[in-house]
Amino acid sequence: MRGIAVHPLSPRRQRAGAVFKDESFDSRLSTFGFRLSTPGESSVPTWIQPLDPLSSLPLSALTAGVPLAILLVLMGGLRKGGALSAACALASATLLAIAVWHFPWRLACLSMAFGFLYALWPIMWIVFASLWLYNLALANGSFEQLRRWMANHASGDPHIQAILVAFCFGTLLEGTSGFGAPVAVSAFLLLGLGFGARDAVTVSLIANTAPVAFGGLGIPIVALAAVTGLDQMKLSAMIGRQLPFFSLILPAYLVWVIGRRKGLREAWPAALVGGASYALAQVLSSNYWGPYTTGIVAALFSIACLVLLLRVWKPGGRETPDPSRGAQKSTSEVAGNDLPAQPGPGVQPATQALAAWAPWLILAGVMVAWSYFKLFQIAQRNVPVPFLHNVVFIALYHKLYTAIYQFQPLAAGTAALTATVVTALVFRNRPAVILSAGLKTLKQLRLPALTVSLIVALAYLYNYSGMAFTLGAALAGLGKVFPLVSGYLGWLACFLSGSDTASNLLFGNLQVAVGRQIGVSPILLAATNCCGGVLGKMISPQNIAVGVTTVGLIGREGEVLRRTFWHSLLLPLGLSVLAFAQAYWLKGMVP
């Protein structure tokens, strides 16, 4: 990339994708809209992404959105399974990329293969390792102890259970792992507390928003800083001045989703304490400590504050069980296995409470240590994807598109596997129990792994063909009102890719470029992209596919998408208003 200079020519000449050889850089690029100078030569053909292949940017953007519409209609409207919906969307995107964007079919196949590879490692690797830990906890009885602990401390109230399990506990898991595993574990726990399967997944997905920007030890913000060149601490601080507003209201929003006004009247103190404590810790940690442990610190502080509140306050109106909800079940009953059931809710000895939390505290501790000692980087191999690396030229950013697969043997999934092994040693589980939990995890993830792979392949095809950049460029043309849609750009990217990290990698630079063009802080818009991605994760097919694995809804992902879609559209409206205010009226909030 060093030494490359790009000079755009007429818009008419930029519309068609092109292939050229490096030995005639200037003449070939000038023919198709650019003149490129470079100190080195190569015989590998290079293809230029067309931003406006149909000579009308709005029409091109609408065309680029067709596969996404197909995905939404099939899953949300027709309630088709995630794998079928993703396959149809991928097929339509491939046809459009080749026919309209003139994307060479070999590059299309390579980009999709790259996406499949990334889906398997590291995404499905961390999901597999995290769910292996969950299944091991299920097998050795510690997860049942956790269910009893939650039942004892949540007073049998579904609103408190949603806050304590989906919000507090789910955010702790998100801070350590992510990629849908927190949704799967939280949903199963809620199922054992009496929630219906669809309700459990819906609540867990909505709750899996506030912590995502700082999830996986702050990886989304680290990636955003790397791709934009902006100061990481400033990005962390800016996100810590946007996301806490949603963290504050999210527990109350969950209560409203479950019980509407009556629920809020009964459980508002718990919603206030849970949200305020999390938001306070999130602000302080993100602004003064950085992104790495903000998710874990905020979750633990929120759990502690909520438990202390529940010692002196109980929700009103729950003297008798709620007839609209199912009875509480042990985890063995929910899972349909033959493990002995534990006693029902009652006084729980301290040793059992410690056993309940041990696997997840071990997971948090291993993840923090893994990050602190930078174990992720040991034996890392950066492998350029043959015939794709630096072969695609991004017209929007005036640079070549790298295609480097980072293989990390000690990735986050390996850290989660280490936590699983440590947990097995602490609980003295027999090898047969450990192996059985692993095989059960493999069986659970067969279809979700296919769905996730198809979705990530779709995202990579969108990126390398230029279709994603066409969508971004259309929104960037809004000028001064762009902050109102900045968050929805991140929302769109996260819906497509299933990852806030991928959302930042995709549109982080675009946000910075637009900010400099319209006179708005690049720090603000880059942070807004990250926060918008957070709010789009609840409808990501990838996230839903993993989330339904533990509650018996595999193949019925469309039913879940229908339940979360309008929540996902509503919440970013608040972010849009906040970002617009910070851009023009509350500039003092921007670091």
- The phi and psi torsions of 586 (rounded to 5 degrees) equal -115, 50
Judged by DSSP in three states, 352 sits in helix
pTM of the predicted model as reported, rounded to 2 decimal places: 0.80
* Nearest alpha-carbon partner for 531 in 467, 477, 574, 478: 574
Amino acid at 573: L
420-426: long-range contacts at Cβ-Cβ below 8 A with a sequence spacing of 24 or more? 420/129, 420/132, 420/133, 420/136, 422/362, 422/366, 423/133, 423/136, 423/137, 423/142, 423/358, 423/359, 423/362, 423/363, 424/136, 424/140, 426/358, 426/362
Check residue 210 and give its pLDDT. Answer: 78
Range in 30-39, 158-167, 337-346, 370-379 with the lowest mean pLDDT:
30-39
Checking if the pLDDT of 321 tops 70, the result is: no
Six-digit token pair at 475? 């929104």
Ranges of each domain in the chain: 112-314+324-356+399-589
Tens of pLDDT, residue by residue over 256-276, are 999 888 989 989 999 999 999
Check residue 562 and give its pLDDT. Answer: 87
Judged by DSSP in three states, 19 sits in strand
Torsion, Cα of 228, 230, 236, 239 (10° steps): -60
Q: Is 572 or 103 the better-scoring residue by pLDDT?
A: 103
Checking if the pLDDT of 13 tops 50, the result is: no
Confidence category of residue 71, pLDDT binned at 50, 70, 90: confident
Six-digit token pair at 578? 């906040």
* Nearest alpha-carbon partner for 378 in 431, 418, 349: 418
Give the distance from CA 88 to its chain's centroid.
Answer: 22
Checking if the pLDDT of 339 tops 50, the result is: no
Task: Provide the pairing of β-strand 399-401 with 392-394.
Answer: antiparallel
Q: C-alpha angle with apex 571: 567 to 572, nearest 5 degrees?
A: 125
Confidence category of residue 15, pLDDT binned at 50, 70, 90: very low
What is the DSSP code string of 354-423?
HHHHHHHHHHHHHHHHHHHTTGGGTT-EEEEPTTTTTTEEETTTTEEE--EEEE-TTSHHHHHHHHHHHH
Check residue 417 and give its pLDDT. Answer: 94
Checking if the pLDDT of 12 tops 60, the result is: no
* Nearest alpha-carbon partner for 511 in 496, 494, 524, 498: 524
Tens of pLDDT, residue by residue over 76-113, are 778 788 889 889 999 999 999 999 999 999 999 999 99
Segment 117-134 mean pLDDT:
87
Tens of pLDDT, residue by residue over 466-522, are 998 888 888 878 888 999 989 998 898 888 777 787 778 767 777 887 887 788 999
Cα–Cα distance for residue pair 100/91, rounded to 1 Å: 14
Range in 200-214, 312-326, 535-549, 563-577 with the lowest mean pLDDT:
312-326
Average predicted confidence (pLDDT) for the chain: 83
Question: Angle of helix 522-536 relative to helix 500-518, nearest 10 degrees?
Answer: 150
Checking if the pLDDT of 338 tops 60, the result is: no
Q: Which range is most confident: 244-253, 309-318, 537-546?
A: 244-253
